[in-house]
Amino acid sequence: MMSGCGQCRSSEPLPFTFTMAFHPIVDLGKGSVWGYEALVRGTEGQGAGYILGQVDDDNRYRFDQACRTKAIELAGELFPADDVRLSINFLPNAVYDPAACIRATLAAARRIGFAHQRIMFEFTENERMADVAHVQRIVADYRQRGFLTALDDFGAGYAGLGLLAQFQPDLIKLDMELIRGIADSPARQAIVSGVIAIARSLGVAVIAEGVETAEELAVLREAGITLFQGYLFARPALAALPGLSLPEMRQAA
């Protein structure tokens, strides 16, 4: 098997093709789009599971690099505005050396003219991390270079608050399991309020993802969240920007 760094430099094509769908993150404090998350999809609209099921140890590193490049290339075409961010999911266990594995990302951003300060890297607590100290080095390196970092699926995975203490990213994304039914759940409301208070004390912003109902949105806004993502506003669009539910945004503003 080729080493991770060797695969990052390899020009061998992946044995499958893919594209990206884009899903907006909205800032209801400003009534505008904060950024778009790039979600891997098949070229005919197949879900992420269809593509990820073809990723293995022999192509994991090339796949991670190709996802970053594809996301940046499409973002440069679809939303060139300087104030709209691009969020890219990355596989922490697919990065052998932060400085080496970021080169293709930086080259793509320069080629497209997409400022790397507009790029956010998301990593998830749902993926068991082979080496937590190594992931800390990745996050520190990315932040030093001006990238934003976010801990995705917060509250649903292996380590929760422990990871927040270790990494202190720029943002956390509350998992939809905490969001679903929050309007009728004092327990969920208390947990989310506590997480928001902790995040504020650490200087970490909070995004509520998976928001689907006006009732969920109202409770989360009352708790002080301004950044949201979910089907209430739009569904992901394949290699395109989806239309936003602007009346909902105005109603909630």
Q: Quickly state the pLDDT bin for 219 (edges 50, 70, 90).
A: very high
Q: Quickly state the pLDDT bin for 1 (edges 50, 70, 90).
A: very low
Distance between CA atoms of 173 and 164, rounded to whole angstroms? 11
Report whether pLDDT(166) > 70.
Answer: yes
Q: Quickly state the pLDDT bin for 123 (edges 50, 70, 90).
A: confident
Instruction: Report which of 134, 136, 131 is spatially closest to residue 151, judged by C-alpha positions.
Output: 136
Distance between CA atoms of 91 and 8, rounded to whole angstroms? 13
Q: Quickly state the pLDDT bin for 212 (edges 50, 70, 90).
A: very high
Higher-pLDDT residue of 6, 11: 11
Report whether pLDDT(92) > 90.
Answer: no
Output the pLDDT for position 252.
43
**β 32-41/85-89 pair status:** parallel
Output the pLDDT for position 128.
58
Higher-pLDDT residue of 150, 3: 150
Output the pLDDT for position 248.
47
> What is the average pLDDT value for the chain, to the nearest integer?
87
Q: Quickly state the pLDDT bin for 95 (edges 50, 70, 90).
A: confident
The percent of the chain in helix, strand and coil, each rounded to the nearest 5, is 45, 20, 35
Distance between CA atoms of 207 and 97, rounded to whole angstroms? 29
Distance between CA atoms of 109 and 145, rounded to whole angstroms? 13
Distance between CA atoms of 169 and 133, rounded to whole angstroms? 14
**Residues of the chain above pLDDT 90, percent:** 62
pTM of the model: 0.89
- Does the domain at 4-252 match CATH 3.20.20.450? Answer given as yes
Burial 69-108 (b: 16+ CB within 10 A, else e): bbbbbbbbebbeeeebbbbbbbbbbbbbebeebbebbeeb
Give the least confident one: 53-57, 189-193, 199-203, 246-250. Answer: 246-250
CB 12 within 8 A of CB 69: no
Burial of residue 175 (number of CB atoms within 10 Å: 0-12, 13-18, 19+):
buried
Task: Tell me the pLDDT tens digit for each residue of 27-78.
Answer: 999 989 999 999 999 999 999 999 999 999 889 889 999 999 999 999 999 9
**Mean pLDDT for the stretch of residues 107-135:** 82
